[in-house]
Amino acid sequence: MSQLFTPTKIGPLTLSNRIVIAPMCQYSAEHGKTTDWHTIHLGHMALSGAGLLIIEATAVEDIGRITHGCVGLYSDETEAALKKTIDAVRQYASMPIMIQLAHAGRKGSSARPWEGGQLIAQKDGGWQPVGPSAIPQLPTETPPLALDKAGLVRIREAFVESAKRAIRIGFDGIELHGAHGYLLHQFLSPIANQRTDEYGGSLANRMRFPLEVFDAVRAVTPKSISLGIRISATDWAEGGWTPEESVEFCNLLKARGCDFIDVSSGGVSHQQKIPLGPKYQVPLATTIKKGTGLPTMTVGLITEAKEAEEIIATGEADMVALARGMLYDPRWPWHAAAELGASIQAPKQYWRSQPRGLTTLFGDAKTGGR
């Protein structure tokens, strides 16, 4: 039996298999509101047969967006738009759907990737980014505004209010974005956080704000909704955040009721040196899994079904998350199931696509017609 296609639990949430669709920014929102593009895109993903869909990084305040095209959940208008999108997808797909709540911090006010991806100055229609310290992402950029105590309270409460909105919409889970050089990761990393108050310096101080945010969101999130976090387990840069610190951080999260860890890496330093290759981040997930006992997702250049199967079968991680691979092949789970001899959930409208010789791919699908 394929281990990739066995069920698993993350807190209260049961997944039919171990394939997760990782968050993928679409940069196609209008003033933070989802559009028909998101309905089409998420509809594709939700019919793919994966065990879980996590929607793109969703900003908790307007200046927490990465770009003008990023989705937000910080007003009645953004909530109504996102609810309309999710309701439309859910009408035809039963896959659990999770939201990733995020704040871009110093990486905010950027151009869309296909427009260059660089910081947009305020005079050119951008906004003033914020961060733990007045240290820019790139040396050539204008520094962010270092957050004062009032700013920290505002953002913590913004996470709480966005979580409440996500719960009203009916998401099955919430993932906090503490990776890829965005705000929560910026506080963790000594590369971006050089504060001299209780939120900077020592490891305990650098973890303080992300833990405060988690505690505040946990306090308003029902136990029936899965709550976890994505982290960058290493900065891949000298003097940066380390896997050992990640284990300590995740154990503190575990004690606070964290249900899972989504393990990625990098993003906070332009001097990062990443050893890219198939499964290059899997050992980081294994370190977190062994060091905490929490359910872990692993991501990064996992493209082959046999790779994903091996990760689960050997216990390197509990779930395999794909992002770019799913954009390239939205039916990746179908093809993996066919290769590994497993069955997959598929819409009845697509049952007739089952190739000859794979009569059990869609379970008990009836493929007749006239």
Looking at the predicted structure, is the pLDDT value of residue 366 above 80? no
Span 290-304, mean pLDDT? Answer: 96
| Selected residue with higher pLDDT from 260 and 357 | 260
Per-residue model confidence (pLDDT) at position 360: 84
What percent of the chain has a predicted confidence (pLDDT) above 70?
Answer: 98
Identify the active-site residue in 27, 74, 92, 182.
182
Compute the distance between CA of residue 329 and CA of residue 303 in angstroms, rounded to an integer: 10
Looking at the predicted structure, is the pLDDT value of residue 320 above 70? yes
Categorise residue 279: left if φ over 0, alpha if ψ from -120 to 50, beta otherwise: left
Across the strands, what pairs with 357? none
Per-residue model confidence (pLDDT) at position 368: 60
DSSP states of 78-128: HHHHHHHHHHHHHTT--S-EEEEEE--GGG-SBPPGGGT-PBPPGGGT---
**Reduced 3-state DSSP string for 4-59:** CCCCEEECCEEECCCEEECCCCCCCCECCECCHHHHHHHHHHHCCCCCEEEEEEEE
Span 210-224, mean pLDDT? Answer: 98
Instruction: Give the closest residue to 12 by CA, choosing from 319, 259, 228.
Output: 259
Tell me the pLDDT tens digit for each residue of 256-295: 999 999 999 999 999 999 988 889 999 999 999 999 999 9
Question: For the chain, which domains are there?
Answer: 8-345 (3.20.20.70)
Looking at the predicted structure, is the pLDDT value of residue 364 above 90? no
Compute the distance between CA of residue 302 and CA of residue 282 in angstroms, rounded to an integer: 9
Span 32-53, mean pLDDT? Answer: 97
Q: Which residues contact 327 (CB under 8 A, 6 or more apart)?
A: 24
**How does residue 208 score in pLDDT terms, banded at 50, 70 and 90?**
very high
Looking at the predicted structure, is the pLDDT value of residue 140 above 80? yes
Per-residue model confidence (pLDDT) at position 357: 81
Per-residue model confidence (pLDDT) at position 369: 59
pLDDT, averaged across the chain: 96
Tell me the pLDDT tens digit for each residue of 56-70: 999 999 999 999 999
| Selected residue with higher pLDDT from 353 and 110 | 110
Looking at the predicted structure, is the pLDDT value of residue 310 above 90? yes
Per-residue model confidence (pLDDT) at position 276: 87
**How does residue 370 score in pLDDT terms, banded at 50, 70 and 90?**
low
Looking at the predicted structure, is the pLDDT value of residue 355 above 90? no
b/e per residue 99-131 (b: at least 16 CB within 10 A): bbbbbbbbbbbbbbeeeeeebbeeeeebeebbb
Looking at the predicted structure, is the pLDDT value of residue 247 above 90? yes
Span 149-168, mean pLDDT? Answer: 98
Burial of 141 (0-12, 13-18, 19+ CB in 10 A): middle
**How does residue 367 score in pLDDT terms, banded at 50, 70 and 90?**
low
Question: For this structure, is 182 an active site residue?
Answer: yes
Per-residue model confidence (pLDDT) at position 359: 79
Per-residue model confidence (pLDDT) at position 253: 98
Compute the distance between CA of residue 209 and CA of residue 229 in angstroms, rounded to an integer: 14
Evaluate whether 188 touches 242 at the Cβ level (below 8 Å): no
Compute the distance between CA of residue 58 and CA of residue 129 in angstroms, rounded to an integer: 16
Span 40-62, mean pLDDT? Answer: 97
Span 24-29, mean pLDDT? Answer: 97
Compute the distance between CA of residue 315 and CA of residue 203 in angstroms, rounded to an integer: 29
Q: How many CB atoms lie within 10 A of CB 322?
A: 25
